[in-house]
Amino acid sequence: MTTKVETDVAIIGAGPVGLFAVFELGLLDLKAHVVDILDRPGGQCTELYPEKPIYDIPGLPIVTGQELTDRLMEQIKPFSPTFHLSQMASSLHREADGRWRLTTDTGSEIVAPVLIIAAGGGSFVPKRPPIAGIEAYEGKSVHYAVRKMDSFKDKDILIAGGGDSALDWTINLAPIAKRLTLVHHRDGFRAAQHSVNKMRELVAEGKVNFHVASVKELHGTDGQLEAVTLSGADKKEWTHSCNAFLPFFGLTIKLGPIAEFGLNLHENLIQVDTARFESETPGIFAVGDINTYPGKLKLILCGFHEAALAAQAAFHICRPNEKLRFQYTTSSSSLQKKLGVA
Amino acid sequence: MKIHATDRNGKAHELEGRDGWTVMEILRDGGLDVSAECGGACACATCHVYVAQEWYDKLTPPSEAEIDMLDMALAVEPTSRLSCQLTCTPELDGLTVTVAPE
């Protein structure tokens, strides 16, 4: 769906620091739109370690990645930010009036005088197996996600991996595939036990083939896969015919299109000043793990501080003719009204 | 203790291990390209290394969590380990690892 919106601040990244930026901006009456490639807020906290405890958030002696995200979502609720999830911030242009136009890979456009990049290490993208020439098959016969099950009907499918995605798609695609083969490096799976049981049933019934093996080579022409070379536990190799290959090894973080935004990068990090956390490009700020400055520590708590200062600087860009009134939430009735508690 | 590490370009490095530190930390601080996205929480499999066969059996065996997480690693081999789960000790002087491809 394509949308075009105008707002005060566009934020790239719905991790803890991007979420807290919404809060700090909200206290200053600045509206925010948040873009994230994942399908839910939380960034690394929810994608990598939702159940792992974090012990160094001030005032929260122990909190999991998911709980921290839930609490931040509750904290920013009064400011009703708009989320653009499952979208990658793909390009940035400067409008004639000096504002920024951020475009996502699904065609959404956000026009705002201020952009805050809170993208952590970049975008979560599927891990690509280190198989020579795999790029040529991607999108044609090698897929890292199933968008339309129908497109796999009557295919000779090969799935690689041992996690939930690998097993879920094995179970779901087996009934419509011409043949479905699952390969994994061991005869054990990290996926949910009921999925493992179901997959083993399908193997016992002859509806799924399973091999302890890994894919070594791809064979085909013009992006259409015809066969792969598999290597078994004993290093014995054999050719396996197939015309669709689905590798499921989870996600990894790549900087992605932000590298093309024309910002001053140092080892894939955005250099900022420590008064405003603004990049060398006026109006573009960077907070959290994606920025660098002398003394930088990649800690969530440091990102919170950075977001607070960036929000103050953003106010002066968004409201050049207004005076910023610095207030405390404990004592200001106008802030309390915004928070819905007064 | 010394750690012998081969990077993704095949270049050999001799690194100084520190007692109680993880091998991932030594590789990362030594400038090898180990992204270790989760910071050592055994949650991402981006610090995957191949341990030299003669060293593999001298290591503390992998936990269930590590074995599970290796399912998310690419190009897993019989001596694959996650380097964030390997702790430097004097007994591991000479440990030899190769950073796995990504």
Q: Which residues of A touch B (CB under 8 A)?
A: 44, 48-49, 52, 121, 127-130, 161-163, 184-186, 188-190, 214, 249-250, 252-253
- The model's confidence at residue A1, banded by pLDDT at 50, 70 and 90, is low
State the pLDDT at residue A322.
97
For residues A264-274, average pLDDT: 94
For residues A42-57, average pLDDT: 94
pLDDT at A308 over 70: yes
Interface mutation vs chain A, best among B35, B74, B81, B99, most A CBs within 10 Å = B74
Cβ burial, residue A266 (10 Å; 0-12/13-18/19+): exposed
CB contact under 8 A, B71 and A162: yes
ipTM associated with this complex: 0.88
Q: Scanning every residue of chain A, which has its alpha carbon at the shortest distance from the alpha carbon of B73?
A: A249
CB contact under 8 A, A190 and B35: no
How far apart are the C-alpha atoms of A198 and A207, rounded to whole Å? 11
Q: Scanning every residue of chain B, which has its alpha carbon at the shortest distance from the alpha carbon of A162?
A: B71
State the pLDDT at residue B3.
98
For residues A300-307, average pLDDT: 98
Q: Choose among A129, A162, A253: nearest Cβ to B75.
A: A129
- The model's confidence at residue A330, banded by pLDDT at 50, 70 and 90, is very high
CB contact under 8 A, B71 and A121: no
Residue B32 — φ and ψ, nearest 5°?
Answer: -75, 150
pLDDT at A2 over 80: no
- The model's confidence at residue A302, banded by pLDDT at 50, 70 and 90, is very high
Query: The whole model's pTM is what?
Result: 0.90
CB contact under 8 A, B75 and A44: no
Burial A148-169 (b: 16+ CB within 10 A, else e): eeeebeebbbbbbbbbbbbbbb
Q: What is the pLDDT of residues A105-131, one digit of tens each?
A: 999 999 999 999 999 999 999 999 999
Cβ(A100)–Cβ(A112) below 8 Å: yes
State the pLDDT at residue A3.
83
* CA distance readout (Å), A237 to A200, A213, A273, B97: 24, 9, 55, 25
Looking at the complex, report in whole angstroms how far the Cα of residue A55 sits from the nearest Cα belonging to chain B: 13
How far apart are the C-alpha atoms of A330 and A337, rounded to whole Å? 12
Cβ(A187)–Cβ(A166) below 8 Å: no
Sign of the C-alpha dihedral computed for residues A16, A21, A22 and A28 taken in this order: positive
Q: What is the pLDDT of residues B41-93, one digit of tens each?
A: 999 999 999 999 999 999 999 999 999 999 999 999 999 999 999 999 999 99
- The model's confidence at residue A87, banded by pLDDT at 50, 70 and 90, is very high
Q: Position of tokens 């981006």?
A: B46
Q: Position of tokens 């491809």?
A: B101
pLDDT at A160 over 90: yes
State the pLDDT at residue A13.
98
